Amino acid sequence: MKYIVCLKQTPDTAELPKITPEQALKGNEGVTKVMNPWDEYAVEEGIRLKERFGGETVAMSVGPDEVDEALKSAIAMGCDRAVRLWDEAFADSDYWSMALILAKGIEKDGGADIVLTGKMSVDGNAGAVAHGIACKLGVSLLTQVAKIVEVGDGKITVERLLDEGRETVTAPLPAVISVVKEINEPRYPTFIRIRKASRAQIPVFSAADLGIDPAQVGAAAARVTWTNLVKPEPKKREVVIIEGDTPEEKARKLLEYLIDVEKVL
């Protein structure tokens, strides 16, 4: 069995509020970057699949040199190796071009039985690239996956988290699986693995290596363009601290505000 985990490097969530629109548009946010938090669950699940069913787990990411750091943290967690896909032509690709690049990268690496992704990136917030990869590869897509029940016989059975409950679904392999946080608890890297990761050689594949025509990707091919980016209007909230001698008095006053002034209850 072979598992490929697609992961993105994103700004540390605590730093997101500091990023300016100018920095974001330049694609150089000037803040600490880490593995997209949602993708830690995908990496962990990729490692667990290897532990359960045997095989190899590979981390893959589209991005410039700095992204090696995120790929190394995936190796430090337990991935066997990593592959990076990058070319100047890839910059500003939309979701479907990004999915095409990843699909070509997966094929270049010899394919995978299971491709794992996070639920969404904390910067782009699209939650769409996994769907695109499945579409481009023409394989099964299972999203909102909270548990991998069984893999075997060329099939995979998972539990999906719906708004209304939990669904058990079976689909043929290969499959793209996008996981939710509930699926596992990501492990911390051990010292030995961090050492191994620091020495890892990460091959990089360009558009030419992947057989991608540069006109298919990047800003010019994008089906959607960002025409403006702003900070949200700061909500002017002046907190009213409710005083009172007893909890009952405070409760009563709060309800008066909510019912009579704000009319929201």
Partner 1 sequence: MTILVWIDHHRGTVQPASWEAVGKARALAGDDKVVAVVMGQGVDDVAQQAIHYGADATYLYDDAVYAEFRYEPYTAAMKDAVSENDPALVLFPATTRGRDFSAFFACSADLGLAPDAQDVRFEDGKVVAKRPVYSGNMIATVEVKTTPAVVSLRPRTQPMPEADASRAGEVVRKGALMSEDEIPTKVEKFEEKEQGEVSLTDARIIVSGGRGVKGPEGFEPIRELAKVLGAAVGASRAAVDAGWISYDHQVGQTGKTVRPDVYIACGISGAIQHQAGMRESKIIVAINKDPEAPIFQIANYGIVDDLFKIVPALTEEAKKRLGK
Ligand X SMILES: Nc1ncnc2c1ncn2[C@@H]1O[C@H](COP(=O)(O)O)[C@@H](O)[C@H]1O
Ligand Y SMILES: Cc1cc2nc3c(=O)[nH]c(=O)nc-3n(C[C@H](O)[C@H](O)[C@H](O)COP(=O)(O)OP(=O)(O)OC[C@H]3O[C@@H](n4cnc5c(N)ncnc54)[C@H](O)[C@@H]3O)c2cc1C
Q: How far apart (Å, rounded) are the C-alpha atoms in residues 264 and 26?
A: 41
Torsion of CA 220, 221, 224, 228, to 10 degrees: -20
Q: How far apart (Å, rounded) are the C-alpha atoms in residues 264 and 258?
A: 6
Q: Which residues of 66-88 are buried (b: 16+ CB within 10 A; e: fewer)?
A: ebbebbbbbbbbbbbbbbbbbbe
Least distance from C-beta 14 to partner 1, angstroms? 6
Q: DSSP alpha helices (H): ranges in 56-121?
A: 68-77, 95-108
Confirm or reject binding of residue 120 to ligand X (CB under 6 A).
yes
**Residues between 63 and 82 that touch ligand X (CB under 6 A):** 63
Site string for ligand X, 125-144 (x = CB under 6 A): -xxxxx--------------
Confirm or reject binding of residue 241 to partner 1 (CB under 8 A).
yes
Q: If contact means CB under 5 to 8 A according to the sort of partner, which of ligand Y, ligand X, partner 1, none does residue 219 touch?
A: none
Least distance from C-beta 146 to partner 1, angstroms? 8
Confirm or reject binding of residue 112 to ligand X (CB under 6 A).
no
Least distance from C-beta 154 to ligand X, angstroms? 24
Q: How far apart (Å, rounded) are the C-alpha atoms in residues 90 and 94?
A: 9
Which of 129/151 has CB closer to ligand X?
129
**Residues between 179 and 208 that touch partner 1 (CB under 8 A):** 180-182
Interface segment toward partner 1; rule CB under 8 A; list 42-50, 74-82, 159-167, 209-217? 159-167
Kindly tell me which residue out of 36, 73, 140, 144 binds ligand X, with binding defined by CB under 6 A.
36
Q: Report whether the peptide linkage leading into residue 174 is cis, meaning its omega lies within 30 degrees of zero.
A: yes
Kindly tell me which residue out of 53, 108, 171, 196 binds partner 1, with binding defined by CB under 8 A.
171
Across-strand partners of 34?
Answer: 10
Cα→Cα distances 54→76, 175, 222, Å:
19, 17, 39
Site string for ligand X, 3-22 (x = CB under 6 A): ---xxx--------------
Residues 6+ apart with CB under 8 A from 254: 242
Sites of contact with ligand X (CB under 6 A): 6-8, 36, 38-39, 42, 61-63, 95, 98, 102, 117-118, 120-121, 124, 126-130
